[in-house]
Amino acid sequence: MYDIKNLTLDEKIKLVAGKNNWQLETANGKLPQVFLADGPHGLRKVSVEKLEQGVAEKEATYKTTAMPNICVLSNTWNTEMAYLQGETIADDCLECGADVLLAPGVNIKRTPLCGRNFEYFSEDPYLSGYMAKAFIEGVQSKGVGTSLKHFCCNNREYDRWTRNSEVDERALREIYLPAFEIAVKAEPWTVMCSYNPVNGVYASENKKLLDGVLRGDFGFNGLIMSDWNAVQHSAKAIKNTLDLEMPYRPEAYTEIKQGLDDGYLTEAELDRAVLKVLALIEKAQTSKKEVTTTKEKRHENALEIAREGITLLKNEGGILPLTGGNVFVSGAYAYTTPMGGGGSALALTDYKMKYVYEEINARLGEKGKAYTGKGVVSTSPFTYAWTMKHDLQESYHADTVVLCVGTNDTIESESYDRFSIRLSKQQEEYIKETAKVNENIVVVLFAGSAIDCSPWIDKVKAVVLAGFLGEAGSEAVADILTGKINPSGKLTETYPLCLEDTPTGDTIGTAMGEKYEEGIFVGYRWYDKKQKDALFPFGHGLSYAKFAYSNLEITKFSETDYEISYWITNVSNVDGKEVSQVYIKDILSTLERPEKELKGFAKTYLKAGESKKVSHKLDRRSFAYFMTAIDDWYVENGDFEVLVGASSKDIRLTGKIQINLPKYEQVSSHYTR
């Protein structure tokens, strides 16, 4: 539709860099205006007009539906929820005129210190990939584009602009790239490159990754844009096949012009990028757009996802759900719950959240009474002593104490990392002091990444991981605590016993960057290899119901294609949802492999007493590992086990598969003559 021949060289140069922070160039009005906006937890669209009038960014930002953060969405293990989150945000985009949503991010949670973990799905690439794919499909079903980010190996925020990520090829292929590979199947309109260099070359000019892997191997056909100010030299980036530099930078024009004049960059290379920008503009112009939800419905969707992502980590003696009595709600987040982590993904809402205790009261009705105290705020040392004294007194008289603790958008944020994965000293002390006066403590944890709970876990009866729930936080927490909703979230990252147990410990690399020394052993793959216990393993989450697994069946279609099925029965008298997980274990292989790897997952709703059959397909990739010597995925003949579990450490069913591919499909080191 838009012909490159109608553009002058000058217009073409301008088109491959932004017009301002959020908009694309229009080639002197020849092209329609395209608007880009964050992000994964709700639209963050800034009014360019207001900004130009000097209004501060926060005030110039539209108010939107604040959705649960991706860390919560991923704990649902439900691709339908990911689709719903995408669809919901897209309607806000359509109402406010945003064409491309800058989300989702699929960087792997390599260390719990990473400041941006709340925005990412998991330590596991398979789970990250399929959840992100559904999110993208949800957004794009409404005619709004997405930007799959940050490609790739931006696994820390500390000094993210310059620090090199030194990653071996196998870890790249097996851990850091597959989530992109899977999500790209949803055909996101754009992919956003990361800030950091990967193996010495900035992601924005890493031709091997952008063109070789993303376009070549994964078949990505859309536009690749830079993260905001991730371009070091504009001509260099375009030559190395980046398509669009964001945002506007005055030097971009000069650098490209100079590159062309010097013969470093050819006009054909520039045209390649221009054609991608034109194609994006055309998509934005021609896609079918229709708002189908009201503001109220979008809030309901936020609530539905929040409820399903809340994860019950511990429930000793069945203290939950609350059945009545005096429930004292205290702690830093006793009033309203934190919206989300900080930075570009923080959505601003005008929704007026009620206090947690009010929502609990509304659900307990006649059966009990919830009330709150002074709120022990971790960031306020001055009021700390007397509010604590007051609240401890109340705790002594209560039947149950609900302690709302955690982090917030200043502790977990884009641009920097956490220093510790413990709660603040005040919060830890407060939990311990409360335990001295009341033994019925329920901790509700608000955090975007793993928290070291070991200093206090034995002193409390229940732990509910709320995460960052967005605007429906208080309602969702009250629904779970009172049993109105049966919890069904499960962890998508390991909760370690302490920071030192994690693959990267408390180290942050050198001044130049960081060597990914643990290679492919990230997350549960690391704890399995090192035979380390975790406080709560990957995939763990409790329910008020009980589920039994039975009858694993394996049907073979070819040496590497199978269908596996099993039955789950709800053996309790409450309805609930169960997340089942399928792992593959390679019994013996020439190159070292993880103990097991996730290759399937399902969320199944079961009424009390009901049984359902769950099925999964396994294919070549389910058994393969990346062999750098042949530069390809390789399935090595031998024995495999199919492990079906309620968590990575709670395997309920085991089956066997033997693969016998022809000799010529095997590397010869694997067999003898």
CB atoms within 10 A of CB 579: 26
How far is 169 from 35, CA to CA, in rounded Å? Answer: 36
Residue 227 is among the residues annotated as catalytic for this protein: yes
Does residue 41 belong to the site contacting ligand BGC (CB under 6 A)? no
- Compute and round to an integer the Cα radius of gyration of the chain: 25
Of the CA atoms within 13 Å of residue 457, those in its CB half-sphere come to 17
Minimum CB–partner distance for residue 105 and ligand BGC (Å): 6
Q: Under the criterion CB under 6 A, does residue 163 sit at the interface with ligand BGC?
A: no
* DSSP state at residue 105: B
28 sits in the region (left: phi over 0; alpha: psi -120 to 50; else beta) called left
CB-side exposure of 270: number of CA atoms within 13 Å? 28
Where residue 207 falls (left for φ over 0; alpha for ψ -120 to 50; beta otherwise) is alpha
Minimum Å distance from CB 107 to ligand BGC?
10
Minimum gap (Å) between residue 164 Cβ and ligand BGC: 18
Q: How far is the CB of 474 from ligand BGC (least distance, A)?
A: 28
Note the residue count of the chain: 673
* Contacts for 540 with CB less than 8 Å, ≥ 6 apart: 313, 490, 491, 495, 647, 648, 649, 650
**Those residues with Cβ within 8 angstroms of residue 16's Cβ, 6 or more apart along the chain or in another chain:** 234, 238, 243, 244, 245, 252, 256, 270, 273, 274, 277
CA distance 108 to 178: 10
Instruction: Please say which residue, 149 or 236, places its beta carbon nearer to ligand BGC.
Output: 149
Q: Of 38, 91, 99, 227, which one is the catalytic site residue?
A: 227
Which residues neighbour 155 within 8 Å (Cβ) at sequence distance 6 or greater?
107, 108, 109, 110, 111, 114, 165, 176
Q: How far is the CB of 280 from ligand BGC (least distance, A)?
A: 16
Q: Which is nearer to ligand BGC, 153 or 401 (CB)?
A: 153
Binding flags for ligand BGC, 116-155, as an x/- string (CB under 6 A): ---------------------------------x------
State which of residues 27, 82, 102, 347 lies at the interface with ligand BGC (CB under 6 A): 102
Q: Does 228 bind ligand BGC (CB under 6 A)?
A: yes
Residue 165 in contact with residue 515, Cβ under 8 Å?
A: no
Q: Rounded to the nearest whole angstrom, what is the least distance from the CB of residue 392 to ligand BGC in the complex? A: 42
Tell me, rounded to whole angstroms, the distance of Cα 652 from its chain centroid. Answer: 27
User: How many other C-beta atoms can be found within 10 angstroms of the C-beta atom of residue 348?
Assistant: 18
Taking the least distance from each CB to ligand BGC, the nearer of 23 and 589 is 23
Decide: 638 and 559 in contact? Cβ < 8 Å: no
Number of residues in contact with ligand BGC under rule CB under 6 A? 7
Centroid of chain to Cα 581:
18
Least spacing, CB of residue 228 vs ligand BGC, in Å = 4
User: Where do we find the tokens 């975790």?
Assistant: 534
363 near ligand BGC (CB under 6 A): no
Please give the angle made by the CA atoms of 62, 248 and 238, to the nearest 5 degrees. Answer: 130
User: What is residue 270's three-state secondary structure?
Assistant: helix
The tokens of 412 are what? 């977990």
Minimum CB distance to ligand BGC, residue 149 (Å) = 5
- Those residues whose C-beta lies under 8 Å from the C-beta of residue 344, and which sit 6 or more positions away, are 38, 39, 44, 102, 228, 414
Closest by Cα among 113, 98, 119 to 43: 98
> Which one, 146 or 330, has the nearer CB to ligand BGC?
146
Supply 488's token pair.
Answer: 């069904």
According to the binding rule CB under 6 A, does residue 38 interact with ligand BGC?
yes
Q: Does residue number 536 form part of the binding site for ligand BGC (CB under 6 A)?
A: no
What is the x/- site pattern for ligand BGC, positions 570-599, by CB under 6 A? ------------------------------
Rounded to a whole number of angstroms, the minimum distance from the CB of residue 247 to ligand BGC is 8
Please report whether residue 344 would count as binding ligand BGC according to CB under 6 A.
yes
User: Measured in whole angstroms, how far is the alpha carbon of residue 70 from the centre of its chain?
Assistant: 4
The answer to the question of residue 301 lying near ligand BGC (CB under 6 A) is: no
Whether omega for the bond prior to residue 104 falls within 30 degrees of 0, making it cis, is yes
Phi-psi sector, 253: left (phi>0), alpha (psi -120 to 50), beta: alpha
Tokens of 29: 């009005």
The distance of closest approach from Cβ of residue 530 to ligand BGC in the complex, given in angstroms and rounded to an integer, is 32
CB of 173 to ligand BGC, least distance (A): 24
Is 227 a binder of ligand BGC (CB under 6 A)?
Answer: yes
Using CB under 6 A as the criterion, which residues of the chain lie in contact with ligand BGC when the complex forms?
Answer: 38-39, 102, 149, 227-228, 344
Give catalytic residues, as residue numbers: 227
